[in-house]
Chains A and B, each alone.
Chain A
């Protein structure tokens, strides 16, 4: 009897509180989807914790971004949107926007202006690659190498093109198991000028040329499918050098003290940011917009760089980047955008890849199985 009563009472309470939320203007709980690991941790400290403190709401973390696109589509088809905000790479954000799964956003209306009054859309500038996308960080895919495996009397590798130089730097290499970045590097290191890379890659001969260049190192290469694998390969000495995300390399080098060095030349810039699922109920949407206004302002974006070496997407945040919160080292030299790291760089050409991804991916996978 007592149990029944307790149950009844608690049910009544839940119902009552549930109704209270629905009556209020904004939901008191939100589910934010991100990548997990050090990256989610940096968001927790820079955005979630201060926001929860300010408003008293609960933020639920879901580490589903790797399957974010598929799950957003599944939720939309089932008519049951459980996510409030999703962290995606720019290419995926363009895709969910194309599929009508994400909401289009008026950046100037929804986001805070810079402290000097520059409008949000000018402050983010080119980073707004899709109407649904709210940029957050700039990261880069670049190379790390084992400092203890550099042959004697040889300069340590500087960047992507050293991957193709088996004579100077013998040993295994690690590369991502997808065409993006690999094909660009193959052409750049085969002597194609950066301006021409995508034009060349559009042609059959250009694609053959890129694959031929990759053929020269194919039997020395381990292809990874998650970024954590690349770090494991480097940490265990399985490969001499490997491509991976610069933030992961930073934490392996600075936080874990692994004998790994950075090779920045021809790093590929990429963006990561938020999308809001389409068709959210009004109270939840109001909450998300309130959170976004807070979490993407100039100071908050700069704060995130205290915990991870990714560059803030707002131009106005760059001067505010300071030191690592725990290690106390200067973060600026570890940023992909630092001028000495960024002598030769390129930007993932999203719209080009949106067209060519299906085709080149099947060619790349066929090449891998050959």
Chain B
């Protein structure tokens, strides 16, 4: 028949398209519908959970602040050899002057100072001090130009010189009081060619006045920085004979005069502000942290630091994070273990007692669960402290001497006791719901076949409850590893976790980059442990219920 001969070709659907294509189309539609159904949840999680976390973690490598604040300096500094033992060239100091001048007008220099102070002590005040005094450096030229000719004193003559004719006309027509936008500054073409540095700094100044301060450019006198740039341009003796625009006579006069001007030695002037500017280490730090992205925070998070010769360990007396990571992991494991030990019998009782007693017991398990975390933690303080309930009872019973009261709090013991109690319901509840599904007849069958109580439990009951242990352990361990309030309150010095340092860097030192790096490492550790658990036990073996 014809049909059998056609078997070699693709199978066709009723409408003549290949069956595979039409099946795919049907499936795709189904998938899309499913996706549309979960879309609200997906978008919600993406926007409120994944995106903020990703943004926060991204800060652990972000470092644009250095090159954004000191763009000229960092570019020039790229070629500087720190090993030579010589401070950077005068050009770098001149670039630094320009950068810091602009930064202090924008009030960004202190922010950079705080950033670099994380890496090198003293940079914070170095930048604050320099920001305050950098204006004096420029005033040397400003005063000389202004003494030379009143032309240089006035914002209007400056604008006439620097701005294009179109812009000047627009600015003159613009009404200060109206809601209309101030016409954006446009430089005069001839001036860009003749006085490139002046034009560049004046544009920065104009942009700042118009867009950041939102003032009228026609009424603002230029920064001292513009005068320094003008000096630098004129001392090169550009050919201004062909220029006939506004201020041409004054430019010629100034060019003749600048040779006799008192000059500023930026290298010496910065040393005058603070001798640390002649410290190689300061420059090495700026150079090391010039790139837009840095591994510095991650290195700090594992007790290392970036140095000109590559990563190296921090000195012994500053090493802390690796120790805290290990302590956090170890104590979370101990807490998980003690939760299993304490929770297993309780869950067994819950699952096997008659319903009425079990319900009562269940309420006892849940009651602390509903109590505020802080209340429970503070209650443990009252219980465990040396003048507390436990020690008083022990002394009264004569078990410990009055002088030898036990130290149960403000150390690791305190953290373990309090956190075991707080996390216990997270172990009991999954265990209970798994145990509930184990038919009691299995145990009876095992015993009727001759098993002892222990064998029946260990060979028959326990293996069936393992998925509950797995689920409870993952819950407890992951919660414990990120805990912070309880260790802070009862942990003293030996019972605090890595999360306490993360909290400190977020809320106190404002070193969010380091906090993000520590958090990223913690997240990676948890994921790695989860992966290992999946490999060893199998994630299919985890059950939160029947």
A residues sitting closer than 8 Å to B (CB atoms) are 66-67, 69-70, 73, 95, 97-100, 172, 177, 211, 222-223, 225, 229, 232, 236-238, 351, 354-359, 361-363, 365-369
Chain B residue nearest in CB terms to A172: B386
Closest to B508 in A: A69
Set of chain B residues within 8 Å of A362, measured between Cβ atoms = 318, 320
A357-B110 in contact (CB<8A): no
Query: B320 touching A99 by the CB < 8 A rule?
Result: no
- Contacting B121 at CB < 8 Å: which of A97, A229, A351, A355? A355
Assess A70 versus B125: contact at CB under 8 Å? Given A236-B385, A358-B118, A366-B319: no
Q: Which of A66, A355, A366, A367 contacts B122 (CB 8 A)?
A: A355
Report whether B107 and A355 are in contact in the complex, using a CB–CB cutoff of 8 Å.
Answer: no
A67 partner, pick from B110, B320, B496, B507, beta carbons under 8 A: B507
A contact face: mostly helix, strand, loop, or mixed: helix
Cross-chain contact of A98 among B110, B319, B327, B496 (Cβ < 8 A): B110
Q: Mark B474-515, 1 if CB is under 8 A from A, else 0.
A: 000000000000001100111010000100001111111000
In the A-B complex, the 4 residue pairs with the smallest Cβ-Cβ separation, listed nearest first, are A98-B110, A70-B507, A359-B121, A368-B493
Interface assignment of B128: CB less than 8 Å from any CB of chain A: yes
CA distance A355 to B494 in the complex (A): 28
Q: Are A237 and B387 touching (Cβ within 8 A)? A: yes
Residue of B nearest to A237 (CB): B387
Q: Is the CB of B492 within 8 A of A222?
A: yes
Q: Does B201 make an interface contact (CB < 8 A)?
A: no
Contacts of B115-141 to chain A: CB distance below 8 A: 117-118, 121-125, 128
In the assembled complex, the Cα of A232 lies from the Cα of B490 at a distance in Å of 13
Q: Which residues does chain B contribute within 8 Å of A365, judged by CB atoms?
A: 320, 501
Could you tell me if A366 and B317 are in contact, using CB atoms closer than 8 angstroms? yes
Instruction: Say whether B318 contacts A366, CB under 8 Å.
Output: yes
> Given A236-B387, A237-B387, are A369 and B124 also a contact pair (CB < 8 Å)?
no
| Band of interface residues on B | 35 or more
Q: A95-B510, A99-B510 are in contact. Are A238 and B387 (CB under 8 A)?
A: yes
CB distance from A343 to the nearest CB of B (A): 31
Instruction: Let me know if B509 and A369 touch, CB within 8 A.
Output: no
Q: Do the beta carbons of B121 and A356 come within 8 Å of each other?
A: yes
Task: Give the residues in chain B near A238, CB-CB below 8 Å.
Answer: 385-387
B381 at the interface (CB under 8 A from A): yes
Given contacts A238-B387, A362-B318, A365-B501, contact A98 B124 (CB under 8 A): yes
Identify the closest chain B residue to A351 (Cβ): B125
Least CB separation from B106: chain A residue: A100
Closest-CB distance, A168 to chain B (whole angstroms): 18
Given that A99-B114, A100-B107, A100-B111 are known contacts, is A369 also in contact with B494, CB under 8 Å in the complex?
yes
Give B88 Cβ to nearest chain A Cβ, in Å: 22
A229 contacts across to B, CB distance below 8 A: 489
Contact between B492 and A223 (Cβ–Cβ < 8 Å)? yes
Interface residue? B333 (CB, 8 A): no
Chain B residues near A70: list those with CB within 8 A: 506-508, 510
Interface pair B110/A369, CB less than 8 Å apart = no
Residues of B near A98 (CB, < 8 A) are 110-111, 113-114, 124, 128
Q: Which residues of A contact B385 (CB under 8 A)?
A: 236, 238
State the CA gap A234–B387 with chains docked (Å): 11
What B residues does A225 contact at CB under 8 A?
488-489
- Cα(A73)–Cα(B507), bound, Å: 10
What is the minimal beta-carbon distance from B515 to any residue of chain A, in angstroms?
10
Q: Decide yes or no whether B108 CB sits under 8 A from chain A.
A: yes
Q: Which residues of B contact A69 (CB under 8 A)?
A: 507-508, 510
Q: A-facing mask of B303-328, CB < 8 A → 1, else 0?
A: 00000000000000111100110010
Q: Max chain A CB contacts within 10 Å: which of B382, B489, B493?
A: B493
The smallest beta-carbon distance between A92 and chain B, in angstroms, is 9
* Residue B198 at the chain A interface, CB threshold 8 Å: no
B110 contacts A361, C-beta separation under 8 Å = no
Cβ of B65 to closest chain A Cβ, rounded Å:
11
Q: A69-B510, A99-B110, A354-B124 are in contact. List 16 more A-B contacts (CB 8 A).
A: A70-B506, A70-B507, A95-B114, A98-B111, A98-B114, A172-B386, A211-B317, A222-B410, A229-B489, A238-B387, A358-B511, A359-B121, A366-B318, A368-B493, A369-B320, A369-B493
Give A209 to B488 CA distance when docked, in angstroms.
Answer: 28
* Residue of A222, A236, A362, A368 with most chain B CB atoms under a 10 A cut-off: A362
Give me 26 A-to-B residue pairs in the complex whose CB atoms sit less than 8 angstroms apart, sorted by A's number: A66-B507, A69-B508, A73-B510, A73-B512, A95-B114, A95-B510, A98-B110, A99-B110, A99-B111, A99-B510, A100-B110, A177-B493, A222-B410, A222-B492, A223-B492, A229-B489, A236-B382, A354-B124, A356-B121, A356-B122, A358-B509, A361-B509, A362-B320, A365-B320, A369-B320, A369-B496
The answer to whether B317 touches A363 (Cβ under 8 A) is: yes
How distant is A360 from chain B, measured CB to nearest CB, in Å? 8
- Chain A residues near B111 (CB, 8 Å)? 98-100
With CB as the reference atom, state the residue of chain B lying closest to A73: B510
Nearest residue (CB) in A for B506 is A70
Cα separation A225 to B300 with both chains bound (whole Å): 24
Chain A residue numbers with a CB within 8 Å of B506 are 70
Which residues of chain A come closer than 8 Å to B494, judged between CB atoms?
A: 369
Q: How far is the CA of A99 from the CA of B327 in the complex (A)?
A: 34
Which chain A residues lie closer than 8 Å to B118 at the CB level? 358
Name the A residues within 8 Å of B122 (CB-CB): 355-356
Closest to A229 in B: B489
A238 CA / B508 CA spacing, docked (Å)? 28
With a cutoff of 8 Å between Cβ atoms, the chain B residues found around residue A354 in the complex are 117, 124-125, 128
Chain B residues, Cβ within 8 Å of A357: 509
- B229-246: CB near A (< 8 Å → 1, else 0) gives 000000000000000000
B386 contact set on A, CB distance < 8 A: 172, 238
- B271-301: CB near A (< 8 Å → 1, else 0) gives 0000000000000000000000000000000
Which residues of A sit under 8 angstroms from B496, Cβ to Cβ?
A: 369
